């Protein structure tokens, strides 16, 4: 076996094979894939081979389309058939909520360029005559998708990679990994040691064990999964075309044609975890024992919805394990703190996603940039909170919901509450309905006293609507309190702190006593953060950003190589806070603070290190509501006392709680974008409008060249907020924005603006169409709604209240 490789890919399942192919295609030589058994011997060989473009996240949908389209390319290159059956897909709805979900998929598909349509049940039964349509109320058809041969596809990737010069060692087991001082790896196998610059963990069912070799605990777990193949079905004989692959949400069933019979699989509610602690070394090309007794009730639903399957005999039953991350999306990318170690695992839809994962990972390895926004599958979306127990609770929850629709207002209960701040119980007592962000509980909205704290999962406005309106009105009318502890917080200290931050962030750094809005750009000029930097002293800074992106930002900070005299650490768990916003916020805080808070003495973006009541605190004049407002930061030990004192001081001023949903409404009234939703690594400084915070005069900062080039050329598209003629549903995200019937952009977030009395949608449209008053249409749950660009914020366009 060779003793050196530029990259060793561990695992010859469909994901490792695709990664090998893409690295070879991008031009890397000296590539070695190491497989302990035969290729595809893990979870790949027994897969049902289904492929589709459906995903709640547009960028992953796009990568799924890429994957499906790629199969023809690797077939041509390798001469190996992928056994493609590109017969498209049908999704069936049995409830009004499911129907709304299909309409949303249709609206999103337009901009993604995917051929998709709502069709009648008669048309659905022409495409798949095995459906008993009496169980359903609507159907969606999509052209992309079908099924492939899992083993053929894996071999096609590998053959194509070999033709590009890559090497494969089968029946060779990686035993351990040791990092050298220069960041390269010794990959110790049972056939000798390979010295590799990079290592990629594509070990599927064994990804956890490979993680242990480098001292990390990846949040990945395998579940058992069953499908059945029937004997020949008379209704399918003599048809010119195969039936269309069909997903039945109500039955939690998928089915497709398999030769003259059918294949039917189920994601049952009480799934079984496989090998919870350690994956056996000798598990290769194996299946698990059937468990018909447990699964019969779920397959029986399928036999009712597709009666011909119930009449046919069962030819074969497959029960095999495959892996999931807690949220069902893959884990991809570099791991913070480990140089040249990459993961591509927890891939539960390898035949829909494997190609796209190989593509972005190869770009990331070659160019330090995945080339597109992949936040939703970035391994950095999990942090220390994703312990093995968390994973053990979340993965079965996700499995059980694999074919249930995820409603935008739904919060999943497993492994909660996990992280709680000292005011958690107080917020609950005040009626808070909680969500979880990076494992931390935070208030979404507050139910009035005596009202049941329940919200029906829906794509339309819910019972919470009126309560959110009251929260927004309280903020605009008097004063509101919002807990900000769920933001990501970092401290940067040391003599070298300022110089280093100056390189990492694109903004002008604030002087002591001030804060600045701080966009962070990738070298390609894309938005990788929209944070704020507070300068507490010449050598001490507090940075605040999105809570979900904590690990993501820490990884960027590490990659930006802080010098020996700059120290960066997360203070997310050691700094808690609230935002106090509204016209009476000054009056409230002045009751607890000795410093003079009058407009001339304490201006927007100034800060004080002071005491708020009994609590030592950092007080900043900032916020996200567009009102006069402040943020108060203190350590968790003082936090409950701070809250109690604020509350006592604010009660007679009309102080009210507000939650994350009200904040979304308030910020859109001011046309403020939000990282994760509106600002993501797909967009640039000028497209987002964050270029107004970029200090182009600085000699050096990450992304400078790209940002300057864009400034000269002008952005191709722009972030805008639109007023939408909506009825009982506001936009959710990724709906297509249409001009004269053509999709020209898509929505990034939306909310009802309670204080401007309008439904609001934020999104990107071509720059030439971004003028005030420009008219578009947005398909909201199957209804075309007119949308008008409002260039000025709809609330307080002059910013007078903010500066008051």
Ligand X SMILES: Cc1cc2nc3c(=O)[nH]c(=O)nc-3n(C[C@H](O)[C@H](O)[C@H](O)COP(=O)(O)OP(=O)(O)OC[C@H]3O[C@@H](n4cnc5c(N)ncnc54)[C@H](O)[C@@H]3O)c2cc1C
Q: Does 49 bind ligand X (CB under 6 A)?
A: yes
Identity of the residue, 189 or 484, whose beta carbon is nearer to ligand X in the bound complex:
189
Identity of the residue, 35 or 258, whose beta carbon is nearer to ligand X in the bound complex:
35
Identity of the residue, 143 or 318, whose beta carbon is nearer to ligand X in the bound complex:
318
The residue within the footprint of ligand X, chosen from 8, 20, 24, 43 (CB under 6 A), is 43
Which residue in 559, 530, 565 sits closest to 336, CA to CA?
Answer: 559
Cβ burial, residue 180 (10 Å; 0-12/13-18/19+): exposed
The residue within the footprint of ligand X, chosen from 20, 35, 152, 252 (CB under 6 A), is 35
CB of 225 to ligand X, least distance (A): 4
CA–CA separation, 507 and 314 (whole Å): 65
- Which 150-209 positions form the footprint of ligand X (CB under 6 A)? 173-174, 202-206
Identity of the residue, 44 or 59, whose beta carbon is nearer to ligand X in the bound complex:
44
The residue within the footprint of ligand X, chosen from 5, 8, 15, 177 (CB under 6 A), is 15
Identity of the residue, 271 or 689, whose beta carbon is nearer to ligand X in the bound complex:
271
CA–CA separation, 661 and 369 (whole Å): 33
| Alpha carbon 679 to chain centroid, angstroms | 13
CA–CA separation, 524 and 682 (whole Å): 10
CA–CA separation, 77 and 157 (whole Å): 9
Tokens of 23: 């690295």
Residue 174 C-beta-side C-alpha neighbours within 13 Å = 32
| x/- letters, 715..754, toward ligand X (CB under 6 A) | ----------------------------------------
CB within 8 A of 8, min separation 6: which ones?
A: 32, 33, 34, 174, 185, 187, 194, 196, 198, 199, 200
Q: Which residue has the tokens 């949908």?
A: 61
Q: Does 63 bind ligand X (CB under 6 A)?
A: no
Identity of the residue, 43 or 665, whose beta carbon is nearer to ligand X in the bound complex:
43
CB of 630 to ligand X, least distance (A): 49
Instruction: Tell me how many residues contact ligand X (CB under 6 A).
Output: 40
The residue within the footprint of ligand X, chosen from 8, 9, 12, 272 (CB under 6 A), is 12
Identity of the residue, 365 or 581, whose beta carbon is nearer to ligand X in the bound complex:
365
Which residue in 489, 480, 533 sits closest to 507, CA to CA?
Answer: 533
The residue within the footprint of ligand X, chosen from 7, 8, 44, 112 (CB under 6 A), is 44
Identity of the residue, 42 or 370, whose beta carbon is nearer to ligand X in the bound complex:
42
CB within 8 A of 330, min separation 6: which ones?
A: 344, 345, 346, 347, 348, 353, 357, 377
Identity of the residue, 18 or 748, whose beta carbon is nearer to ligand X in the bound complex:
18
Which residue in 802, 794, 783, 571 sits closest to 100, CA to CA?
Answer: 783
Q: Does 46 bind ligand X (CB under 6 A)?
A: yes
What's the start-to-end Cα distance of the chain, in Å? Answer: 72
CB of 256 to ligand X, least distance (A): 9
Q: Does 116 bind ligand X (CB under 6 A)?
A: no
C-alpha distances in angstroms, 516 versus 499, 501, 693? Answer: 16, 12, 8
The residue within the footprint of ligand X, chosen from 318, 428, 430, 640 (CB under 6 A), is 318
The residue within the footprint of ligand X, chosen from 22, 31, 36, 382 (CB under 6 A), is 36
| Contact of 511 with 535, CB cutoff 8 Å | yes
Report the chain's C-alpha Rg in angstroms: 27
Choices 71-79, 130-138, 296-304, 314-322; region in contact with ligand X by CB under 6 A: 314-322
Identity of the residue, 43 or 620, whose beta carbon is nearer to ligand X in the bound complex:
43
CA–CA separation, 516 and 510 (whole Å): 6
Q: Dihedral of CA 194/198/204/208: which sign?
A: positive
Q: Does 21 bind ligand X (CB under 6 A)?
A: no
Identity of the residue, 208 or 305, whose beta carbon is nearer to ligand X in the bound complex:
208
Q: Does 398 bind ligand X (CB under 6 A)?
A: no
CB of 351 to ligand X, least distance (A): 3
CB of 13 to ligand X, least distance (A): 2
Q: Does 16 bind ligand X (CB under 6 A)?
A: yes
Q: Does 85 bind ligand X (CB under 6 A)?
A: no
CA–CA separation, 795 and 202 (whole Å): 50
- Report the DSSP beta bridge partners of residue 775: 788
| Contact of 660 with 444, CB cutoff 8 Å | yes
Identity of the residue, 41 or 578, whose beta carbon is nearer to ligand X in the bound complex:
41
The residue within the footprint of ligand X, chosen from 21, 23, 25, 42 (CB under 6 A), is 42
- Which 536-565 positions form the footprint of ligand X (CB under 6 A)? none
- Which 569-628 positions form the footprint of ligand X (CB under 6 A)? none
Identity of the residue, 146 or 753, whose beta carbon is nearer to ligand X in the bound complex:
146
Choices 11-19, 648-656, 665-673, 775-783; region in contact with ligand X by CB under 6 A: 11-19
- Report the DSSP beta bridge partners of residue 764: 719, 746
Scored b (16 or more CB within 10 A) or e, 52-91 reads bbbbbbbbbbbbbbbbbebbeebbebbebebbbbbbbbbb
| Contact of 783 with 728, CB cutoff 8 Å | no
| Contact of 581 with 575, CB cutoff 8 Å | no
The residue within the footprint of ligand X, chosen from 349, 365, 436, 554 (CB under 6 A), is 349
CB of 262 to ligand X, least distance (A): 14
Identity of the residue, 168 or 347, whose beta carbon is nearer to ligand X in the bound complex:
347
Q: Does 50 bind ligand X (CB under 6 A)?
A: yes
Q: Does 89 bind ligand X (CB under 6 A)?
A: no
Identity of the residue, 315 or 498, whose beta carbon is nearer to ligand X in the bound complex:
315
Identity of the residue, 149 or 777, whose beta carbon is nearer to ligand X in the bound complex:
149
Choices 14-22, 270-278, 500-508, 770-778; region in contact with ligand X by CB under 6 A: 14-22
- Which 326-345 positions form the footprint of ligand X (CB under 6 A)? 345
Q: Does 498 bind ligand X (CB under 6 A)?
A: no
Which residue in 790, 754, 755 sits closest to 775, CA to CA?
Answer: 790
Angle at 457 between CA 452 and CA 461, to 5 degrees: 85
The residue within the footprint of ligand X, chosen from 322, 390, 746, 795 (CB under 6 A), is 322
CB of 2 to ligand X, least distance (A): 15
Residue 613 C-beta-side C-alpha neighbours within 13 Å = 19
The residue within the footprint of ligand X, chosen from 156, 348, 531, 780 (CB under 6 A), is 348
Q: Does 352 bind ligand X (CB under 6 A)?
A: yes
Choices 349-357, 526-534, 738-746, 787-795; region in contact with ligand X by CB under 6 A: 349-357
CA–CA separation, 31 and 433 (whole Å): 51
Choices 41-49, 472-480, 602-610, 757-765; region in contact with ligand X by CB under 6 A: 41-49
The residue within the footprint of ligand X, chosen from 6, 30, 37, 514 (CB under 6 A), is 37
Choices 266-274, 346-354, 422-430, 503-511; region in contact with ligand X by CB under 6 A: 346-354
Q: Does 225 bind ligand X (CB under 6 A)?
A: yes
DSSP state of 244: P
CB within 8 A of 589, min separation 6: which ones?
A: 580, 597, 612, 619, 630, 632
Tokens of 443: 């208030």
Tokens of 276: 């919870």
Give the footprint of ligand X on this chain (CB under 6 A).
10-16, 34-37, 41-44, 46-50, 173-174, 202-206, 225, 227, 318, 320-322, 345, 347-352
């Amino acid at each position: 076996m060779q003793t050196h490789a530029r990259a060793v890919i561990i695992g010859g399942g469909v994901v490792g094979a695709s990664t090998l192919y893409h690295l070879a295609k991008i031009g890397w030589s000296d590539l070695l894939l190491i497989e302990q058994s035969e290729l595809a011997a893990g979870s790949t060989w027994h897969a049902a081979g289904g492929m589709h473009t459906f995903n709640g996240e547009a960028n992953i949908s796009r990568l799924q389309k890429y994957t499906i389209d790629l199969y023809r390319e690797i077939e041509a290159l390798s001469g190996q058939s992928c056994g493609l059956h590109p017969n498209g897909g049908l999704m069936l709805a049995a409830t009004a909520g499911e129907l709304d979900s299909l309409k949303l998929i249709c609206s999103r598909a337009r901009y993604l360029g995917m051929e998709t349509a709502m069709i009648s049940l008669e048309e659905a039964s022409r495409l798949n005559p095995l459906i008993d349509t009496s169980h359903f109320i609507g159907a969606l058809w999509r052209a992309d998708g079908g099924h492939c041969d899992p083993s053929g596809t894996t071999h096609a990737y590998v053959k194509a990679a070999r033709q590009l010069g890559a090497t494969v060692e089968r029946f060779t087991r990686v035993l351990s990994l040791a990092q050298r001082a220069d960041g390269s790896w010794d990959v110790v196998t049972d056939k000798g040691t390979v010295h590799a610059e990079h290592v990629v963990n594509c070990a599927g069912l064994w990804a956890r064990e490979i993680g242990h070799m480098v001292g990390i605990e990846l949040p990945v777990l395998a579940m058992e999964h069953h499908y059945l193949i029937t004997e020949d079905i008379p209704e399918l004989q003599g048809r010119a075309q195969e039936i269309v692959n069909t997903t039945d949400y109500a039955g939690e069933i998928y089915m497709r044609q398999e030769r003259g019979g059918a294949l039917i699989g189920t994601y049952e509610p009480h799934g079984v975890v496989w090998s919870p602690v350690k994956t056996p070394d000798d598990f290769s090309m194996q299946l698990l024992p059937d468990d018909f007794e447990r699964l019969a009730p779920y397959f029986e639903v399928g036999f009712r919805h597709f009666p011909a399957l119930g009449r046919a005999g069962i030819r074969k039953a497959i029960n095999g394990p495959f892996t999931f991350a807690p949220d069902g999306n893959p884990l991809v990318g570099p791991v913070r703190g480990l140089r040249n170690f990459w993961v591509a695992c927890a891939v539960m839809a390898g035949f829909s996603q494997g190609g796209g994962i190989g593509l972005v990972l190869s770009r990331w390895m070659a160019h330090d940039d995945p080339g597109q926004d992949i936040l939703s599958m970035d391994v950095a979306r999990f942090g220390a909170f994703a312990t093995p127990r968390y994973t053990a609770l979340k993965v079965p929850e996700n499995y059980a919901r694999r074919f249930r629709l995820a409603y935008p207002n739904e919060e999943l209960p497993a492994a909660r509450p996990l992280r709680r701040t000292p005011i958690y119980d107080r917020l609950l007592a005040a009626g808070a309905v909680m969500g979880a962000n990076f494992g931390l509980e935070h208030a979404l909205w507050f139910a009035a006293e005596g009202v049941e704290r329940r919200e029906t999962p829906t794509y339309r406005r819910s019972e919470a609507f009126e309560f959110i309106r009251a929260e927004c009105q309280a903020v605009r009318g008097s004063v509101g309190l919002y807990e900000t502890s769920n933001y990501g917080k970092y401290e940067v200290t040391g003599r070298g702190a300022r110089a280093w931050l100056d390189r990492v962030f694109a903004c002008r750094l604030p002087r002591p006593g001030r804060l600045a809005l701080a966009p962070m750009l990738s070298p390609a000029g894309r938005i990788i953060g929209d944070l704020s930097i507070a300068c507490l002293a010449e050598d001490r800074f507090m940075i605040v950003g999105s809570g979900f992106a904590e690990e993501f930002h820490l990884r960027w900070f590490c990659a930006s190589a802080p010098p020996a005299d700059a120290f960066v650490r997360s203070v997310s768990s050691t700094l808690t806070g609230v935002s106090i916003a509204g016209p009476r916020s000054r009056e409230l805080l002045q009751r607890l603070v000795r410093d003079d808070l009058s407009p001339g003495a304490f201006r927007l973006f100034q800060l004080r290190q002071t005491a708020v009541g009994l609590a030592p605190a950092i007080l900043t004049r900032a916020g996200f509501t567009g009102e006069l407002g402040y943020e108060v930061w203190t350590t968790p030990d003082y936090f409950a006392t701070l809250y109690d004192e604020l509350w006592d001081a604010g009660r007679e001023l009309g102080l009210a709680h507000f939650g994350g949903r009200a904040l979304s409404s308030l910020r859109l009234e001011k046309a403020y974008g939000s990282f994760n939703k509106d600002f993501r690594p797909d967009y640039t400084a000028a497209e987002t409008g964050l270029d107004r915070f970029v200090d182009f005069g600085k000699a050096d900062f990450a992304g400078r060249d790209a940002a300057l080039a864009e400034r000269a050329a002008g952005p191709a598209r722009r972030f805008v907020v639109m007023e939408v003629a909506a009825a009982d549903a506001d936009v959710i995200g990724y709906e297509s924005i249409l001009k004269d019937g053509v999709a020209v952009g898509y929505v990034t977030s939306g909310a009802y603006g309670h204080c401007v009395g309008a439904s609001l949608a934020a999104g990107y449209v071509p720059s030439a169409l971004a003028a005030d008053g420009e008219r578009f249409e947005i398909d909201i749950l199957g209804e075309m709604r007119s949308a008008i660009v409002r260039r000025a914020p709809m609330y307080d366009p002059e910013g007078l209240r903010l500066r008051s």
